Structure 1
Amino acid sequence: MSTKTGFSIVRSLRYLHALLGWLATLFVIAIGVNSFVLTTYTVDGHSMEPTLKNGEHLGVSLLTYDLFRPQLGDVVIVTYAGDPTVHFVKRIEGIPGDMVQYQGEPLPLGPSQYFVVGDNRDHSTDSRVFGPVNRSQILGKVVFPFSLKNGDPGPPSQ
């Protein structure tokens, strides 16, 4: 084997080693971003139609509500109090301090309570059924649906 060929092999191996190092670093960063900053969620059901469709993929910010409070109109991912492995996508319709209607009665929301509902009111199990959710049940804010072409049309008119 000539010195020139040996040098090329060593250089190629160094390049491959550096490339694998960069790929491993990018992989770790992607896992970190997915775990702590941004994740994906798939809509399961029709409770948010026409805004979000069954099977639609969503980008969800896990960091937004560490920096800011949830706001009226935000579309959020919420865990069900009875089973934290069950997630819902809903819109915030009541924030702490608001007075909302719950099962036909006025209900003041406490300092960490939110009232969440689906945009498809006739086909949504939401705070009108299970009551307000605590701030700790709000996992993140939907920042973009992958397939929504015309933007969020907002909640349906009442």
Structure 2
Amino acid sequence: MAAEKSKLREYIEAVGIAVVLAFLIITFVVQAFYIPSGSMEPTLEPGDRIFVNKFIYRFRDPERFDIMVFDYPVDPSMRFIKRVIGLPGEEVKIEGGKVHIDGEPIEEDYTLQDSYSDYSPVEVPADHYFVLGDNRNNSEDSRYWGFVPRDKVIGKSLVRFWPLTRLGRVE
């Protein structure tokens, strides 16, 4: 009887440790996210599932072209995923379908198409980011609701794990 109790206790302890480790990993290291819309096409498609590195931005700030997950500034209960375009202190504008940073056009080979509308120059405030979807003509992003505060950033996209036919790094 004592041997049965110790085996049961062993199983309960193992499950408890697994639950605690899973909680710690999801909270601080990596988390899975589902892509619900086409705003990041062709990079990410509706139905894709990705892992997001929640650890990296504890040691460095987001960089231009990072694809990051953040709490939607208008409704923090929602999570959005977009590409970082403008960094703190930079001027961002869209002219003739091309994004300009501090007056210089940037090279973007990942967009579905050029933006159909111009966007007047704005300066990105300190500790904020200007983000855009890769599908510029079908993306609700910084052009509509403003900048992403640094404290709303959750993490950087890491790898697509579903569907298996598209398995790989998200770049």
**Counterpart residue type for residue 167 of structure 2:** K
**1:47 maps to what in 2?**
39
Q: Structure 2-normalised TM-score?
A: 0.76
Q: Structure 1-normalised TM-score?
A: 0.81
Larger helix proportion, structure 1 or 2?
1
- Residue 150 of structure 1, CA deviation: 5.2
Match of 1:82 among 71, 74, 79: 74
Classify 1:23/1:53 alpha carbon distance in 2 versus 1 (closer, same or farther; 3 Å): same
Q: How far, CA to CA, are the matches of 2:44 and 2:18 in structure 1? A: 31
- Residue 149 of structure 1, CA deviation: 2.9
Q: Which moved more, 1:101-110 or 1:85-94?
A: 101-110
Match of 2:5 among 7, 13, 16: 13
**2:91 maps to what in 1?**
99
Which entry has the higher C-alpha Rg, 1 or 2? 1
Q: How far, CA to CA, are the matches of 1:115 and 1:54 in structure 2? A: 23
**2:98 maps to what in 1?**
none
Query: CA offsets per residue over residues 100-126 of structure 1, 9 Å max, x none?
Result: 016632222222121101111111111
Q: Does 1:149 align with 2:139?
A: no
Q: Which moved more, 1:26-35 or 1:94-103?
A: 94-103
Classify 1:150/1:83 alpha carbon distance in 2 versus 1 (closer, same or farther; 3 Å): closer
Structure 1 runs (4+) deviating above 4 angstroms are: none
**2:140 maps to what in 1?**
125
Q: Name the count of aligned residue pairs.
A: 145
Tell me, which stretches of 5 or more residues in structure 2 are unaligned? 95-117
**Counterpart residue type for residue 122 of structure 1:** N
**2:131 maps to what in 1?**
116
Q: Does 1:58 align with 2:83?
A: no
- Do the aligned residues in 1 keep the contact of 2:159 with 2:167 (CA within 8 Å)? no
**1:38 maps to what in 2?**
30
SS of equivalent residue, structure 1 residue 122: helix
Q: Which moved more, 1:115-124 or 1:36-45?
A: 36-45
What's the RMSD between the two structures over aligned residues? Answer: 1.8
